[in-house]
Amino acid sequence: MGTKKLSGESSYTKRYDGRKFDELRPIIAKVGIVPSADGSAMYQSGKTRAIAVVRGPRLLHPKHLENPRKGIMRVTYQMMAFSVWDRIKPGKSRRGQEIGKVSEWAFNEVVDLDAFPNSVVDLIIQIPQADAGTRVAGINAAAMALAQAGIPMSEMISAVASGKMDRTLVVDVDKEEEDYEDGEGATDVPLAITSRSKKITLLQLDGKISVPELRDIISMSKKACEKINAIQMKALKEPGKEIKG
Ligand code: CDP
């Protein structure tokens, strides 16, 4: 896919890092990075790295949160203090809570905890290194960790943040692109997509975009997610091995 322009010229004619407009950053995926966990995985896209650890299903404390009909999932997301140039303040942040919540919703569509009443699955996402797209990298790592833990899932989930630099549509936005200011500036669209039925379970939008452009972003992201899914599946078949793509 080439440059998409609705009308007029876009000022963003070449990507900073030389990638094609529909090209993902180099990927590394590895399943089984924390041996004592029920499931764990790492997903790296360029300089953004996410790790995810699953503990459970196990009995839920505090007890008043228990659901006697089915298990619940608790998702936490945190950037590590050294993940960006400015030190990240440890502890809870509004951004971290938002990302934890949208990641949880992204999995609600596929995770089935009916067989685990009164129980909890804890999903912990940590970001050791951030260069934009950490929520989608976290979701990719989490999907592998949940699958390794044997949590019943109707399908896998893959995620990518595509976007628009001025009028040019690009897949897998990095931090330098996210900060693009010329023309219409940068728009960032994180998306999570299920592997078989292609349902969108996360769609956020930071910026300004037309409906046709958003449709194009969704179709570019769907293709990118198929590539990501192939790498996730390969990593799940070979725990302990770094799978590159
Ligand atoms: O990481 P993601 O794109 O999902 O979320 P964001 O809130 O749009 O953040 C974009 C990027 O900004 C992060 O990936 C980091 O590289 C950077 N960031 C930062 O430097 N300091 C923060 N406190 C938060 C984000």
* Mean pLDDT in order along the chain per 10 residues (245 residues): 60 97 98 97 98 96 89 96 92 95 97 95 98 98 98 98 97 97 96 98 94 97 98 98 97
Q: How far is the CA of 121 from the centre of ligand 1 (A)?
A: 26
Q: Ligand 1 in contact with 84 (CB < 6 A)? A: yes
- In DSSP terms, 44 is beta-bridged to 28, 49
- Could you identify the atom of ligand 1 that is nearest to the CA of residue 138? 4
- Amino acid identity of residue 37, one-letter, is A
* Confidence (pLDDT) at 5: 47
Q: Ligand 1 in contact with 175 (CB < 6 A)? A: yes
* Confidence (pLDDT) at 7: 55
CA nearest ligand 1 atom 11, residue: 132
pTM, 2 dp: 0.96
Q: Ligand 1 in contact with 15 (CB < 6 A)? A: no
Q: How far is the CA of 105 from the centre of ligand 1 (A)?
A: 20
Query: Which class for 239: exposed (0-12), middle (13-18), buried (19 or more C-beta within 10 A)?
Result: middle
Q: Ligand 1 in contact with 20 (CB < 6 A)? A: no
Q: How far is the CA of 238 from the centre of ligand 1 (A)?
A: 31
Q: How far is the CA of 137 from the centre of ligand 1 (A)?
A: 12
- Could you tell me which residues come within 8 angstroms of residue 132 by beta carbon, excluding any fewer than 6 positions away? 48, 161, 173, 174, 175, 177, 178, 188
Q: How far is the CA of 187 from the centre of ligand 1 (A)?
A: 14
Q: Ligand 1 in contact with 131 (CB < 6 A)? A: yes
Tell me how far CA of residue 27 lies from CA of 50, 71, 95, 196, 207, in angstroms: 11, 33, 25, 22, 26
Q: Ligand 1 in contact with 39 (CB < 6 A)? A: no
Give the number of other CB atoms < 10 A from CB of residue 200.
Answer: 15
Report phi then psi at 67, rounded to 5.
-115, 115
d(CA 24, CA 20): 8
d(CA 61, CA 175): 39
Tell me how far CA of residue 16 lies from CA of 13, 136, 152, 179, 184, in angstroms: 10, 21, 41, 12, 17
**Helix count and strand count (H, E) for the chain:** 4, 10
Q: Read off the tokens for 132.
A: 């934009």
Q: Ligand 1 in contact with 139 (CB < 6 A)? A: no
* Confidence (pLDDT) at 12: 97
